[in-house]
Amino acid sequence: MKPVTLKEIAEKLNISVTTVSKALKDYPDVSKKTKALVKELAETLNYKPNSFAVHLRTKESKTIGLVIPEIVHHFFSSVIKGIISEAEKEGYLVIILQSNESYELEKKQIDLLLSHRVDGILISLANGTADFKHLNAILEQDKPLVMFDKIAKLVKCSKVIIDDQKAAFIATQHLIDSGCKRIAHFRGPLLPQNSIDRFLGYKKALLANGMEYDPRLVYLSDCGENSFDDGKVNAAQLYKDHSDVDGIFINTDLVAIGAISEFQKLGVQIPEEISIVGFSNWFMSSVISPTITTIDQPGYVMGQTAFIQLYKEIQALKKGTPLQPETITLETALIKRESTKGS
């Protein structure tokens, strides 16, 4: 069945197309009686506005793009919920694309979103993204761009982040305060920026407490994905190389869960022999045994904040109002659980 048009509604009521259009938009120069007739018939015929035609007229698609590394991920699923909750309030559709931590795929997805004339783009970068031409291309087309979580400091756009360095310092300090003397770090990949900042926070905490920084105790991700298997592999290697380590700050909760699984297999007692602090506060971190001490990362609020900032920039662009990029830093908190002593 073909979509119903304004012309068909107009012919059935013997009025002009312009009057139908105005009635549906509640223009004051159309009588209440006519508005009621038009709206009733439109509902009966299941009339839907032509979004493409609206876009041509208003230069606004009411659509935004969202590019994230992974959808099936506790943190990013929380971010998505936060974005959609705010987008629905403003009548926006969110196109969600997954980069799979691939720079090449991320570039293609940005091109796709731009070709679909989205009003703005939200993005958390893939781990491998080190070239930012595709991001600057968004800004060159006068499209608002807001980064969140995994960002590029060199791209001049708004960003919604946490203070990863501060949070990592607090996590490492907790291990020190609980009695740990030799602390390792499962860093994950060399990129993105949040991985760098968490490493720097770990290192600063050691030095601030007069402890030696030993680069041999920093373990990178084998596959660059911060996976469960990374945790298992790194835990096994650490146990083999450095049996004197009694604390580990781990880049994400998923890697921490993998590490705990491997240590349990090896007969290592947590936290009696090794204390562990994770990052993100995944649901699983509160239900496995032992439960994981972690940094709470506010995914839902980050999503809400990112969309609100993007919407603000879309509206400013429509009005021709100059707008300086903002960096919004959200608060985190240490959640003490069973994987560290004295929690």
Q: Quickly state the pLDDT bin for 51 (edges 50, 70, 90).
A: low
Report yes or no: 280 and 77 within 8 Å, Cβ to Cβ: no
Architecture of the CATH domain 61-161+299-332: 3-Layer(aba) Sandwich (3.40)
Other CB atoms within a 10 A radius of the CB of residue 292 amount to 29
Identify the CA nearest to 280 among candidates 150, 179, 106: 150
Architecture of the CATH domain 164-297: 3-Layer(aba) Sandwich (3.40)
Q: Looking at the predicted structure, is the pLDDT value of residue 15 above 70?
A: yes
Residue partners of 223: CB distance under 8 A and separation at least 6: 229, 230
* Mean pLDDT across 200-226: 90
* Mean pLDDT across 275-301: 96
Identify the CA nearest to 95 among candidates 114, 73, 72, 75: 114
- Rounded CA-CA distance 246/175 in Å is 9
- Rounded CA-CA distance 205/300 in Å is 28
pLDDT in tens, 60-112: 789 999 999 998 788 999 999 999 999 999 999 999 999 999 999 999 999 99
Least confident of 39-43, 61-65, 251-255, 281-285: 39-43
- Rounded CA-CA distance 215/202 in Å is 11
Q: Looking at the predicted structure, is the pLDDT value of residue 42 above 90?
A: no
Q: Looking at the predicted structure, is the pLDDT value of residue 223 above 70?
A: no
Domain range annotation of the chain: 6-49, 61-161+299-332, 164-297
Q: Looking at the predicted structure, is the pLDDT value of residue 160 above 90?
A: yes
* Mean pLDDT across 13-29: 88
Range with top average pLDDT, 32-46, 172-186, 212-226, 315-329: 172-186
* Mean pLDDT across 317-330: 92
Q: How far is CA 262 from CA 69, 79, 216, 245, 256, in A?
A: 26, 30, 20, 15, 10
Q: Which residues pair with 261 in a beta bridge?
A: none
- Rounded CA-CA distance 223/255 in Å is 12
- Rounded CA-CA distance 259/276 in Å is 9
Instruction: Give residue 233's pLDDT.
Output: 94
Radius of gyration of the chain (CA): 26
Q: Quickly state the pLDDT bin for 50 (edges 50, 70, 90).
A: low
Instruction: Give residue 249's pLDDT.
Output: 98
Q: Which residues pair with 93 in a beta bridge?
A: 63
- Rounded CA-CA distance 184/234 in Å is 10
Report the share of the chain in percent with pLDDT over 70.
95
Looking at this protein, which amino acid is placed at residue 327?
A: T
Least confident of 25-39, 199-213, 260-274: 25-39
Instruction: Give residue 222's pLDDT.
Output: 65
Identify the CA nearest to 184 among candidates 207, 214, 204, 164: 214
- Rounded CA-CA distance 225/127 in Å is 8
Q: Quickly state the pLDDT bin for 224 (edges 50, 70, 90).
A: low
Instruction: Give residue 54's pLDDT.
Output: 55
Instruction: Give residue 4's pLDDT.
Output: 81
Identify the CA nearest to 259 among candidates 187, 332, 160, 167: 187
- Rounded CA-CA distance 159/100 in Å is 21
